Amino acid sequence: MRKVALVLIFVFAVALVLTACYVKYPDASGIVETPVIAVSDNWTYIRLDLYGTPGDFTKEIGNAILQWEQSNPNRRIVSLEIIYKLPSYSYPAKIEGISIYSEFK
């Protein structure tokens, strides 16, 4: 009986450790429903939350910039930065979003 209890405790501990170490990544093809955050008239932040490098998601980044340009026809981009987290240990690289500084044409 004691042996069975020890085996059950061991199996439970292993299952607990495995579920704690399991990292679930969101679908890399999806973009957040409301990604545009207008902080001021001149500065806009577009949240993307994509797991990978900017080279992996050139289409999604270009599409986000194109959508911003189409929704702001009277403004031109002065500065554009991709907010990107480098990979470390078990965490993958992540593209947080795009920061756009603009002015009137």
pLDDT for 1-30, tens place per residue? 777 777 778 777 666 666 655 555 555 554
- Rounded to 10 degrees, the C-alpha dihedral 32/76/95/27 comes to 30
Q: Give the rounded percent of residues in the chain with a pLDDT score beyond 90.
A: 14
Strand ranges for 18-60 from DSSP E: 36-38, 43-51
Q: Once rounded to an integer, what is the mean pLDDT over residues 89-98? A: 86
Report domain extents, the chain: 26-104
Secondary structure of residue 32 in the 3-state scheme: coil
